[in-house]
Amino acid sequence: MAQLFLGLDSSTQSLSAIVIDFAARRIAYEASLNFDQALPHYRTVNGVLPHPDPLVKHSPPQMWAEALDLMFAKMKKDGVPLRDIVAVSGSGQQHGSVYLKADGRLARQTSPIWMDSSTSSECEEIRQALGGIAAMAEATGSDAYERFTGPQIRKFYKTEPSAYAATAHIALVSSYLAGLLAGKIAPLDHGDGAGMNLMDIRRKQWHPAALAATAPDLAQKLPPLVPAWHVIGPVSRRFGLNENALALVWSGDNPCSVIGLGLIRPGLVAISLGTSDTYFGYMQECRVDTHGEGHVFGAPTGDYMSLICFKNGSLAREKVRDLYGLDWAGFNQAITRTPPGNNGAILLPWFEAEIVPRVNRPGIHRFDLDPNNAAANCRAVVEAQMMAMRLHSQWMNVRPSRILATGGASTNTTILQVMADVMNCPVARIEVAKSAALGAALRAAHGYYLHIGQPLAWSDIVAGFTNPIAGSEILPQHPEAYAALIEKYARCEQQQR
């Protein structure tokens, strides 16, 4: 009998499942259920409930619960040998919160999710109570952010005090679904707990001052914090698995993706080139960004991970491409016609207000750059993005030794060559359509073998599942062009912030 491990990922728009045959080092099954299509009676749009206030983004937690049942029914119908699954873990969209009464029923029918940005005043209240941005980051790993759970809990307490008082348990998306699997209130792992502005990032315990600044009696409503390999108990019999199948604690999508990408040792970094560009890094020691622009979460390895999000990603590249009437082939050709370092030309491509660095007003700024020079502007937008990543990841004090590129633009080798040169390290592509679900399945395997007294190193866990695409590695060719340019870029950024 094969030993199979199941990883689930409840994202904003869908629930995905990956089953791995660990011994054979292969993905045995994968499937996704789109919430809008599979569960239209909840009337979500891209998994989110419509709301007249554009800052408010909620989803119905009952939809996630129903999707879980549907996924197991689908796996059974598709012939997945459910009784061969020996352990299950999962990933939930980070920061979203679920409010339960003492009997397990919902105390609140909707859940604020990571897209919600309606808590600016609550963020400021919590931030000031803890002593400002730097103190907040030192305490919890991040500045107070609107999408984080602590400010969302505070808003709930302020606006619906009776419903807050009736809440016995506050869960995250991850622990809510893990609890349904195990048939009991589930704990939180350190990775997802860190995305709440409530956890002491170094002690990995609830932070008393953060709790006090958020809402009364909060400690009694929060679940315990546990390592990422914690076994909750057996999976509830109603899901049709083997009676000995283990339910492991779930985590957030970002910590699970760290494992799904194979980021298990210092120097390994992933850069996702999507609508926003995201920089994921692995850290053995906890270091925080006292400017409050980067985030530190617990990693499933027991160490730490960073996440830095740059809003002007694909949008900025496309804006520059379209400004000069080019397609992607023309955009790439334009870059290759210009020298690395772009003769000292700098572009700050803030087509939208930027997260990193904090820029509240959009603006396009050029320094020694002719706006009529299409080729120079094409190179400048990519160089700016890569220099911003290099500059704003320095607080980690971990120099990348290898970068794994993901996301839509990772197929563009011209962009990846600029990345390799600016970062001065090799860049390779990796296929990660479902990295969070894969990471959850690998976490299930890790926790299972630890539980039965046969622990495996993380390098053995991810081997064969997280290899880059063969032949995709790009080596730096002109790193020397950026030694002085990044200093100029930093000065230009500072001048415009």
Going from the first residue of the chain to its last (497 residues), give the mean pLDDT of each consecutive group of 10, the final group possibly shorter.
92 96 96 98 97 96 98 98 98 97 96 95 98 98 96 98 98 98 97 98 98 98 98 96 96 95 94 91 93 95 96 94 98 98 97 91 96 98 98 93 92 97 96 86 98 98 94 97 96 91
Q: Which of 230, 238, 226 minimizes the C-alpha distance to 190?
A: 226
Cα–Cα dist 203/188, whole Å: 15
CA distances from 495 to 69, 198, 227, 369 (A): 54, 34, 43, 16
Do the Cβ atoms of 445 and 5 come closer than 8 Å?
yes
Strand partners, 88: 6, 247
* pLDDT value for 438: 95
Respond yes or no on whether the N-terminal peptide bond of residue 208 is cis (omega within 30° of 0).
no
Q: What is the CATH number of domain 4-255?
A: 3.30.420.40
Q: Which of 170, 169, 188 minimizes the C-alpha distance to 178?
A: 188
DSSP for residue 174: H
What is the CA 274 to chain-centroid distance, rounded? 13
DSSP for residue 238: G
* pLDDT value for 432: 67
Tokens describing residue 213: 């600044």
- For residue 352, the SS3 value is coil
Q: Domain residue spans in the chain?
A: 4-255, 262-431+467-497
CA distances from 409 to 102, 253, 275, 382 (A): 47, 21, 10, 11
* pLDDT value for 407: 85
Cut 0.85: pTM above it? yes
The residue type of 382 is: V
Do the Cβ atoms of 297 and 337 come closer than 8 Å?
no
Strand pairing class (251-252; 85-92): parallel
CATH superfamily of 262-431+467-497: ATPase, nucleotide binding domain (3.30.420.40)
